[in-house]
Structure 1
């Protein structure tokens, strides 16, 4: 039978956490965290359960000391326990003004500090380890004026009158479960580690965090403390992912060997199914469209603990069937069939669910979604400006078009992208189409036209390489990118309707005007045009872009 060591006495919050973890286990209580860990490390028990975090107080004040004593075993799971702490007295006719002594466990009084400071600031406090025993003594002695803060169930069991219910709102405690064997990955895991006291080095913490950031690993928790003996910095980090994955293990190995440069500096505490103290409203996503971009998003949503279903022309799960039992439907199909797909499946989405469009064209698709879905269906468009080759969303642009019906589910999806590092921008439908005409449609059309011009004039790739300046290489690079990837993607970009067409048409008109001035050798008017354009673009924009251009020039200069 499973044996668990935890902090007593029987009935304590830690005792309840152990019961919640395994209700048929044999529980052995101890008076301190140190004794619990000692019992576990000596293999007297199978597991140890200790509090590590409280939503009211933060981390356990003995956090680093706990891990210092943990010389064997792993942190393998967590238990979250809600505690309805209430204020009670033995006398049924008592009120707050009659209290002259407040009794409770040390951590309980700390969690209720806000209430005590507001309502009982001058009342003496008595910290005890066994509240129930003191309750029994008070009851038998008929002593008046003593108030207790304890779980409401405990107060009721001892016949105490409840003066105030839930004096520490949103009070949840996280308990760590320690066992002797590391659990296998679940796909939704976290890894924790702590460092030894570290030697001082400028930028050490930043460099450590950067190793996670550049790999797209999210930090769930981080704290630091100066070691009592040496006063050197110790760091605790909890990050998403299992220690057995190549990404996590290589990150920790690189941090220890290359960043800290101190062998044995990292103690991996364990890996466990990830817990989220925050509330998630979405349980499941369903994709219509099984292309590379759908799979890219699906993988990352699954890593966040969401259930994900894929449906499309080639799947046994049909979209009309999938729609019935998911919270959010995501349509991610080629641009040319997006509107048709929305019109077909939008009416099937039940009220109080959401439709998110992963699409590049906004006005027509959003209007179709609003027209074909129920008024209680949330609608939002997301245009991710990266492809499935991207390793992460970090520092990538994502354009979000919210509608009057974008609600809680849409905001949660937006928060998911923000968490993964995307730079989010908000547009209206018309504004988005216009700007994407500048950002995608026009550059694509220019690239295709440029390639056609080179072919018509029999200019080879070698000719381009030998006669290009660094500046003239920019459009050449864009042309190369368009012609080295899926041609249908770029054909569909150029074929989109909406305000983006105006950008291309206006460009052609302005190009004609410029060529007429150039043919006439009108240097003055051309110079005036350039100056006028520069004023519209603004000095700050030009300075920032020139800095980027210099950085690109540096790279290109090394390659040529």
Structure 2
């Protein structure tokens, strides 16, 4: 039988957490943390369960001092206990107005501080370590009138007290660390905790450490710093997403020790465990219609966040019509030209209380199709990601969100997922999205394709271009090369989008012809007036910011020419 050490007495919150972790295990109770950890270190028990964080109280004690007491073993799992702290009295006739003495543990008083201040002002608080013993002492003395106890409802009931107020600390959850003697295996949805030894002073060391995680796309779930009591040197506690046995996290820690801290043995891994999220998640599952590279890219990252993900398409065993009935959120990720048709085909099958998220580059017509073909209780939102499946992370990539009157908590949770992974999020109306995509995607792609056609028509080779380009003229050449070195279907779809993006192309063609006519007529003054008017519309601040970017690009390109 598995043995678990935790803090007593029986029915205490720590005891409840241990039972929640394994209700068939032998629970051994200890009066304080030192005795518990001594028993664990001596291998008298297989596991230890003890509190490390409370949503109302914060960390139970400084992690640095807490983990310094643990000389062996690993943090292998977590238990989240929803604490039902209540107020109990000894006598039937006692009311809140009669109370003069409130008995409880120090952490219970901290968690119930708001309730005590508002409902029991002026009542004397008596902090005790053993509630069971304190209750027995009060009964033995016989002076029970005007006295009350704050503890879990289970403990109050077990001690025979009458509960007069329940849930005196709502939204009260405590995180318990489970310690074991062996490192937990990889699950795919893990986190790793680590702590540094006291670090020598170095400018920017904290920023540099965090940068190593950030550039690898590793999210930091928790971080705390403290000056070591003896040396007053900086110590850092981190909880990072991922398992220590994965290459990404292991390489990050190795690089931090060798290149950032520049001392070996300065990082101690406390453990890896299935990731715990103190925040509420409403979505359990996503289902994709479309099995392309972009669908798989998003699926991998959603699975890393603990969501169940299904990919469906023309050749999958699981059919889309089956999938939409099983998942919380349906994601359509197919070529732009067929998105609306797919939505009209499968939208009617999505049940109320679910969501439809459209990963598409055309907004207005796609959203109209979604709103018309789905139940009124289905959430609808469009997301246009301005990156492809070659991107390593979402960090600093643009994500355009087009919310609708039916975008709700599922849509917000998906948006929070993008934000967490570093995407820069912008909100547009359907028409504004399509208009701006005419500038951002459709027009540049059309120009790139037309430029390549022009080179062909005039017999200009790639060698000719390289020898005659300035840094400024190289920009459109680079865009042209990018378009012609990737999947042509992607860019053909972009050029074929409807909506207001077409207006951008038509207006550009009209203005291009106007400029050509002025240039053919040698209207220097007229062309200067056009450029000055354009500069005024673009604004001085915009032009200065873009010139700074251009200079940075020029510096890189200049080294490559």
TM-score past 0.5 threshold: yes
Residue-pair matches, total: 560
* Correspondence for 1:187: 188
Give the CA RMSD over aligned residues. Answer: 1.2
Matched, 1:8 2:11: no
SS at match of 1:324: coil
Matched, 1:35 2:43: no
* Correspondence for 2:425: 424
Matched, 1:384 2:374: no
TM-score between both structures, scaled by the size of structure 2: 0.98
> For residues 257 and 111 of structure 1, what CA distance do their matches in structure 2 show?
42
* Correspondence for 2:92: 92
Does structure 2 conserve the Cα–Cα contact (< 8 Å) formed by 1:197 and 1:227? yes
Matched, 1:296 2:297: yes
Cα distance, 1:120 vs structure 2: 2.8
Does structure 2 conserve the Cα–Cα contact (< 8 Å) formed by 1:99 and 1:147? yes
> For residues 161 and 133 of structure 2, what CA distance do their matches in structure 1 show?
14
Deviation larger for 283-292 or 59-68:
59-68
* Correspondence for 2:440: 439
> For residues 502 and 96 of structure 2, what CA distance do their matches in structure 1 show?
72
Cα distance, 1:164 vs structure 2: 2.2
* Correspondence for 2:139: 139
Q: Report matched runs for 1:490-529 at 5 Å.
A: 490-529=491-530
Does structure 1 conserve the Cα–Cα contact (< 8 Å) formed by 2:12 and 2:155? no
> For residues 80 and 425 of structure 1, what CA distance do their matches in structure 2 show?
35
Cα distance, 1:231 vs structure 2: 1.6
Matched, 1:124 2:111: no
SS at match of 1:482: helix
> For residues 141 and 30 of structure 1, what CA distance do their matches in structure 2 show?
27
Cα distance, 1:488 vs structure 2: 1.0
Matched, 1:546 2:547: yes
Does structure 2 conserve the Cα–Cα contact (< 8 Å) formed by 1:55 and 1:173? yes
Kindly provide the CA deviation profile for residues 380-437 of structure 1, in whole angstroms up to 9, marking residues without a partner as x.
1100000000001110000111111111111111111011111111111111111101
Kindly provide the CA deviation profile for residues 473-492 of structure 1, in whole angstroms up to 9, marking residues without a partner as x.
11000000000001111111
Kindly provide the CA deviation profile for residues 257-308 of structure 1, in whole angstroms up to 9, marking residues without a partner as x.
1111121110001100001111111111000000000000000010110000
| Long gaps (5+) in structure 1 | none
Kindly provide the CA deviation profile for residues 59-111 of structure 1, in whole angstroms up to 9, marking residues without a partner as x.
12142222112222111000111111111221222223322221111211111
Cα distance, 1:341 vs structure 2: 0.7
Does structure 2 conserve the Cα–Cα contact (< 8 Å) formed by 1:378 and 1:405? yes
> For residues 101 and 408 of structure 2, what CA distance do their matches in structure 1 show?
48
* Correspondence for 1:471: 472
* Correspondence for 1:217: 218
> For residues 3 and 352 of structure 1, what CA distance do their matches in structure 2 show?
43
* Correspondence for 1:309: 310
Kindly provide the CA deviation profile for residues 179-210 of structure 1, in whole angstroms up to 9, marking residues without a partner as x.
11112111100011000111122211111111
> For residues 420 and 436 of structure 1, what CA distance do their matches in structure 2 show?
23
* Correspondence for 1:415: 416
> For residues 210 and 41 of structure 1, what CA distance do their matches in structure 2 show?
35
> For residues 7 and 65 of structure 1, what CA distance do their matches in structure 2 show?
18
* Correspondence for 2:484: 483
> For residues 78 and 190 of structure 1, what CA distance do their matches in structure 2 show?
11
Does structure 2 conserve the Cα–Cα contact (< 8 Å) formed by 1:84 and 1:151? yes
Matched, 1:266 2:256: no
> For residues 64 and 415 of structure 2, what CA distance do their matches in structure 1 show?
35
SS at match of 2:203: coil
Q: Cα 1:505–1:62, aligned 2, differ >3 Å: closer, same or farther? A: closer
Cα distance, 1:140 vs structure 2: 4.1
> For residues 39 and 519 of structure 2, what CA distance do their matches in structure 1 show?
87
> For residues 174 and 57 of structure 1, what CA distance do their matches in structure 2 show?
11
Q: Report matched runs for 1:133-282 at 5 Å.
A: 133-143=133-143, 144-282=145-283
SS at match of 1:159: coil
* Correspondence for 2:72: 72
> For residues 355 and 467 of structure 2, what CA distance do their matches in structure 1 show?
54
> For residues 546 and 62 of structure 1, what CA distance do their matches in structure 2 show?
49
Matched, 1:23 2:23: yes
Cα distance, 1:444 vs structure 2: 0.2
> For residues 277 and 529 of structure 1, what CA distance do their matches in structure 2 show?
57
Cα distance, 1:339 vs structure 2: 1.1
* Correspondence for 2:362: 361
Kindly provide the CA deviation profile for residues 132-168 of structure 1, in whole angstroms up to 9, marking residues without a partner as x.
2222332343312212111122223333233322111
Does structure 2 conserve the Cα–Cα contact (< 8 Å) formed by 1:34 and 1:66? no
| Long gaps (5+) in structure 2 | none
Kindly provide the CA deviation profile for residues 339-379 of structure 1, in whole angstroms up to 9, marking residues without a partner as x.
11111111111111111100001111110011111111111
SS at match of 1:168: coil
> For residues 492 and 181 of structure 1, what CA distance do their matches in structure 2 show?
53
Does structure 2 conserve the Cα–Cα contact (< 8 Å) formed by 1:33 and 1:66? no
Does structure 1 conserve the Cα–Cα contact (< 8 Å) formed by 2:299 and 2:309? yes
> For residues 6 and 153 of structure 1, what CA distance do their matches in structure 2 show?
17
> For residues 375 and 30 of structure 2, what CA distance do their matches in structure 1 show?
58
Q: Cα 1:475–1:289, aligned 2, differ >3 Å: closer, same or farther? A: same
Cα distance, 1:455 vs structure 2: 0.8
* Correspondence for 2:533: 532
> For residues 553 and 388 of structure 1, what CA distance do their matches in structure 2 show?
27
> For residues 221 and 31 of structure 1, what CA distance do their matches in structure 2 show?
29
SS at match of 2:138: helix
